[in-house]
Homo-oligomer: A and B are copies of this chain.
């Protein structure tokens, strides 16, 4: 059995990128409605121009801009209205000198015209003649062919999480189905002789499962799907059989609990039992969460997470999210944070990244962050938190009143 020393998160993430890049997630073709929020698995280029005709941005009259040279309220230009363009129809007239046609917003600007005067800036003199009260420049109130999106423009980049706006852009260019990564499949084992399901009645000494529910929620948030979860006694053979049964069916297998140095610690032995490279991280320089195990075998990532809900969720926030970034080839990794006033001083831990969860409260335009400091086994702590701060290993801590970044992802 390998016993490794606690590594810095930065080093661990480099190793994860190296090792977990071999995990292949297949793609599937989905409708635009289904693809929202999923990670697109190939670049999409436009096969059309948007717009694909010169389009008016206003309700008005399409004309030659030079016919309005010098026009003003006192000295209007008089132009003949020779027709109307209907929405959704091709403009048939060709505009000659001192002619115009009515074009609605979004309508096609006819050939010969190079500007559209808004109806607010004209007067109708009779059935035919309009008076234009301002000078237009060429191109005014027109979006030209391809001005928004040009043929062969890259519209959505591989690895992007599809937003409502991406879906709109794909629709605009006539793409109605899109290739996205399948949801990575995750199996979660909670270990411990004392663990029961939430619907079970419990005896003294037993507790209900927390971690597998928290991990499942985070998996879904990061874009994965829980294929199976179950509770195991601290029995090494049963656990090995469980991993053997599921390892080939999933992309990530999580064993929650059993990773501390207690007498029932069997996780590291189990996770190192399924081939090379096996366990490559055993201990991380993160507080809380030191007894974390990362392993890889048979194209499956395996995590051993600490049993305390606070530690387990912080670790999965860091390394679980990173795993999904890697295997889904996510291109954008903006971490949402809010700058807030720290309401209590926090103490760091030399050489370790310390994470402190707490409650972010808005006070008018400002935010305050109240750290919730309890024993790390407290579930009330994490359920009342809506963000966390990170204290670097090379600082002694952060003083009350200082501005801190509160991460809210």
Contacts and interface: CB of A to CB of B under 8 A. Distances in A.
B87 A168 contact: no
Interface string A8-43: 000000000000000000000000110011000000
B176 A198 contact: yes
Nearest to A387: B334
A74 interface: no
Interface stretch (A129-137, A212-220, A344-352): A212-220
Nearest to A361: B334
Interface stretch (A100-108, A240-248, A321-329): A100-108
A147 to B, nearest CB: 8
A313 B383 contact: no
Interface in A121-178: 143, 147-149, 153, 155-156, 163-176
A7 interface: no
B169 A90 contact: no
A222 to B, nearest CB: 10
A381 B217 CA distance: 33
A378 B220 CA distance: 33
Given A164-B217, A171-B210, A218-B164, A87 B198 contact: no
Given A88-B205, A105-B262, A377 B148 contact: yes
Contact of A108 (B32, B106, B164, B205): B205
Interface stretch (A48-56, A62-70, A297-305): A48-56
A174 B199 contact: yes
Q: Is the interface of A mostly helix, strand, loop or mixed?
A: loop
Given A59-B262, A205-B108, A87 B194 contact: yes
Chain A interface size, under 10 / 10 to 19 / 20 to 34 / 35 or more: 35 or more
A42 to B, nearest CB: 16
Contacts of A168: 210-211, 213-214, 217, 309, 313, 379, 382-383
Contacts of A55: 377
Contacts of A105: 260, 262, 307
A5 interface: no
Interface stretch (A273-281, A335-343, A394-402): A335-343
Nearest to A177: B199
A176 B192 CA distance: 20
A6 interface: no
Nearest to A170: B198
Nearest to A192: B87
Contacts of A51: 207
A91 interface: yes
Contacts of A193: 86-89
Q: Which 10 A-B pairs have the closest CB atoms?
A: A164-B217, A88-B194, A169-B383, A168-B214, A176-B199, A171-B198, A88-B193, A87-B193, A176-B198, A59-B262
Interface of A: 32-33, 36-37, 50-53, 55, 57, 59, 85-91, 104-108, 143, 147-149, 153, 155-156, 163-176, 192-195, 197-199, 202-211, 213-218, 220-221, 226, 234, 260-264, 307, 309, 313, 332, 334, 336-339, 360, 362, 367, 374-383, 385-386, 408
Given A53-B205, A104-B263, A169-B380, 14 more contacts: A32-B198, A36-B216, A87-B234, A89-B193, A90-B205, A164-B216, A164-B313, A165-B385, A167-B214, A168-B210, A171-B198, A174-B199, A334-B362, A339-B339
20 contacts: A32-B213, A50-B207, A53-B205, A57-B376, A87-B194, A88-B194, A88-B195, A91-B205, A147-B375, A149-B379, A164-B221, A165-B313, A166-B383, A168-B309, A168-B382, A169-B379, A169-B383, A172-B198, A174-B198, A175-B198
